[in-house]
A and B are shown apart, each in its own frame.
Chain A
Amino acid sequence: MANGVWRLGRGRGSTQLPLALAAVFAVALLLLGRAQPVLFDRARAAVTDKMSPILRIVRTPVDATSRWIAGIGDFFHVYQENARLKAQNARLRQWQTAATLMDERVKRYQLLLHAVPDPALSSIVARVIGRASHPFDQTIVLDAGKRNGVKPGQAVVDGHGMIGRIFLAGDHTSWVVLITDLNSRIPVTIKPGNTQAILAGDNSPTPNLENFSQTAVLKAGDTIVTSGDGGFLPAGLSLGTLLKTGGGLKVYLLADPQNVDDVEVLDYKAPIEALPAPSVNDLPAAAAGLPPAPPPQQQQTVAPPRVVGLPTSKTQPTGAGAPPAPKSEPKMPADDQTPGDTSQDQDR
């Protein structure tokens, strides 16, 4: 179109060398991005933090327009939609009653069996202020960041199920990588049967199921929930239902990550228990009624390797013959602390 209208400018010399240099630098950039992605991600988070007031302002009219455009077609189906919602509401009330009864029964069984209850989850409600829907990157931006308690790795859910995980947290904003994104991998359980698998995004609306047992019997409609493996995500978060396609197993997601407005960021911490420091009486020699072993010579003292998970005492031995005693007795759990409750150990 335009090409025949304007005269072509003269090229200034050969572009071969600059082009070759640009190609080399581009490949180097690709390798650097793979080796040190955090460098670029931090800079991106900083830019988003600065942009967050603009995003909030722009988002409001755009949201209104978007809803208006999406709602045009709804005018023609108001009556049918109303009837469908009434029927659905009646069904959901029945399910609510059943769920309440089941919940009470489960709690009763847990008390009878002295079962360890699931760790309590706290959450942060955040608003979506930006969406990046690119072919190789499906992310959303939330208006909550580190100052609100958001940390990378936390699960992000809406009313229907999980939509993604925090991968980058700035001071006031955070980026969520959606479960449909190419880089998303989530350990899941397929129910019934408790088959373990990995939910892998491929930039399509229906992510793939990978790494499941080949002997597992799976059928379309099976429920997919998070398995909690790895301790990063709570177990049992709803994800979707199983779809069988010609190309393999896919998951039809319950949530619609592209159209979500308000989300919850789950603050989940795997209940990893730190062992108390042993007292002198707990040592095998003392327990066996033997005198404590003589201390090693000062010149031959070698610092013991640090044991991960055991708190190290900074107290120096008071005498040459004294074994390293703990500063205080092991703290017993409080009477009102329930099993699995780690609220009193937050500062560990």
Chain B
Amino acid sequence: MERTVNMTGFLSSTIPVGMGVLGILIANFPVSLLAGAVPPPLFVLMPIYFWTLVRPDLMRPSSVFFLGVLQDFLSGGGATMGVWTIAFVATYAAVDRGRDAFAGLGGLLAILGFATAAFVACGTAYLVVTFLAWRIVSVVPLATELAMTILFYMPIVLLLGAIHRRFVGPLRREF
């Protein structure tokens, strides 16, 4: 019985990070239906934001760091390694600090809350890349990615909510 509880607890703890990994794999698969006309959304940011608010014990800084490393590895390689890791850690810090304010938002304001978090992530990444390149980098691709991320958040958050209700919530006794 104890063993079953431990197993279910382990499974519940891997779902948020697993969703992040899935988002990274989808976004960074080098085949695009739109032939690369627009950058893919930052799918990984959605589980990070969602579970940082709902269950921060399942989305720890170490998990965010791991997801950032994976995103960097698959999206840019050596030259931009660490950029998204820093951006995600900064976003996590911002959301964690303002958790009460973010968590109280509902409806369209909740989307605005996510948009703020996505802006922090993209803004941090932009600043880091601009600093590394030491010149002004075009902001258009990043702004497009930000817009795509916010656009896709609306349907995806419903999916994340369903997964949370169905799998994550019931598996944890202390919730």
Q: Is the CB of A3 within 8 A of B102?
A: yes
Cβ-based interface call for B37 (8 A): yes
Q: Is the CB of A39 within 8 A of B78?
A: yes
DSSP majority for the B interface? helix
CB distance from B45 to the nearest CB of A (A): 13
A258-B37 CB under 8 A given contacts A15-B60, A27-B86, A131-B31: yes
Interface residues of B (CB under 8 A from A): 28-40, 50, 53-58, 60-62, 64-65, 68-69, 72-83, 85-86, 89-90, 92-93, 96, 99, 102-108, 110-111, 113, 122, 125-126, 128-129, 132-133, 135-138, 140-142, 144-145, 154, 157-158, 160-161, 164-165, 169, 172, 174-175
Bound together, the chains give a CA A132 to CA B31 distance in angstroms of 8
Bound together, the chains give a CA A47 to CA B28 distance in angstroms of 13
Bound together, the chains give a CA A183 to CA B76 distance in angstroms of 11
Bound together, the chains give a CA A258 to CA B64 distance in angstroms of 31
Stretch in A61-69, A156-164, A189-197 with 4+ CB within 8 Å of B: A61-69
Note all chain B residues with C-beta closer than 8 A to A19: 61, 89, 92-93, 96
Chain A residue nearest in CB terms to B65 = A22
A37-B110 CB under 8 A given contacts A4-B104, A135-B141, A258-B37: no
Cβ-based interface call for A25 (8 A): yes
Q: Is the CB of A137 within 8 A of B85?
A: no
Stretch in A28-36, A75-83, A218-226, A270-278 with 4+ CB within 8 Å of B: A28-36
Q: Is the CB of B53 within 8 A of A3?
A: yes
Interface residues contributed by chain A, number (CB under 8 Å): 65
Chain A residue nearest in CB terms to B75 = A134
Bound together, the chains give a CA A2 to CA B161 distance in angstroms of 7
A31-B160 CB under 8 A given contacts A59-B31, A131-B30, A133-B39: no
Q: Is the CB of B73 within 8 A of A3?
A: no
Chain B residue nearest in CB terms to A131 = B36
A40-B78 CB under 8 A given contacts A1-B107, A19-B92, A135-B142: yes
CB distance from B108 to the nearest CB of A (A): 8
Note all chain A residues with C-beta closer than 8 A to B160: 2
Interface residues of A (CB under 8 A from B): 1-12, 15, 18-19, 21-23, 25-27, 29-34, 36-41, 43-44, 47-48, 55, 58-59, 62, 65-66, 69-70, 129-137, 140-141, 168, 175, 182-183, 202-204, 258-259
Chain A residue nearest in CB terms to B145 = A135
A130-B96 CB under 8 A given contacts A1-B107, A2-B50, A3-B53: no
A30-B128 CB under 8 A given contacts A10-B174, A204-B140: yes
